[in-house]
Every structure is written in C-alpha cells, then in structure tokens.
Structure 1
Amino acid sequence: MKTRLEPIVVKRGRSLVRIYPRKKGGRVYFQVADYSSGKRKFVGFVDPRQAKLHAELIATKPVTSDRDVQQRRFTARRRPVIRFE
C-alpha cells in the first residue's frame, strides 16, 4: 500500500491553503492548491520554502467578488426564457 504524505496547511485569518507533497521519480515536490480564480489550479515547486511563500501570498490575497459574478451568471443561465410574441 502506498503511504501518502500529509498535506501542509497554511492559514491566514479565515483563509486556508493546502500544500500537497508528492513523490515522483524518487524526488519530492510540492503542489500548492490555488482556488482563488474559482477553479482549482495546482502550482508546483521543488523547494518547500517557495511553496509556503506562494501559499501565504494566496492566503493573504484579498477576496474579490468574482465568485459573486460567476454565481450570478450561473443563476441567469438557469432561469427559463419567457418570450412574448
């Protein structure tokens, strides 16, 4: 059975960013999960200090209202179209 390495959690206020250590080819690299754009993106680093620095940058970034805009678009698509002819 494979043993998974525990994710490193960086917290700043109410923000939480996870850093996933991964083994590949006998080396360990770190993937930072970035949800700031509304979708999950992984950013890879070889150095854990750089990964933590990037995670802190993401966690301290002010939250924009992009999600509100995306949710409005989603609800706008779900509404039935009523046409008066």
Structure 2
Amino acid sequence: FTTFATSVPNFVISLALIFIFGVQLRWFPVTGDGTSFLERVHHLILPALALAAGSLATITRVTRQSMIDNVKADHVEAARS
C-alpha cells in the first residue's frame, strides 16, 4: 500500500477522494470555501489528506523499516530475556 501511495500523483489521489467522499458519500463539500472557521476547516480536510498521502506513505515505510531494525538489536533481545 505504501509503495502505491507514494507512486500515485497527488492530483489522482485528490480526484479519488473528491469522487468517493464528496460525490458518492457526500461527507465533504466539493466546492466553496465556507463562511465560518469550522466550515473552512471542513472544506480543507480533503485537500489536506490528498497532499499528506504521499508524505505519510514515505514516513510509514521509514518507520516500519526502523522498527524492524530495532527489534533485532541486542538491547531488545536482552530486555526480552
């Protein structure tokens, strides 16, 4: 999943999120900017998720590899025993 999320461009993720959560489920608005602070935050959720998807996938891959490397460390094995 992380390789897929890293390789897909942000505009494709944006279109998919708009179609799924804006058009099909109608959870988020697809146009406008809102009038109050909370409405503006509600309008910014989908763009923020689309922009964060690639970075989140990269961070997830690095964190996973670090966890795998650290589980094999000597101090972890000593703590388990």
Fold conserved between structures, TM > 0.5: no
TM-score range, shorter chain: 0.3 to 0.5
TM-score scaled to structure 2, two decimals? 0.32
Q: Which has the higher contact order (CA 8 A, sep 6+)?
A: 2
Task: Name the structure where strand makes up a greater proportion of residues.
Answer: 1
Q: Output the TM-score relative to the length of structure 1.
A: 0.31
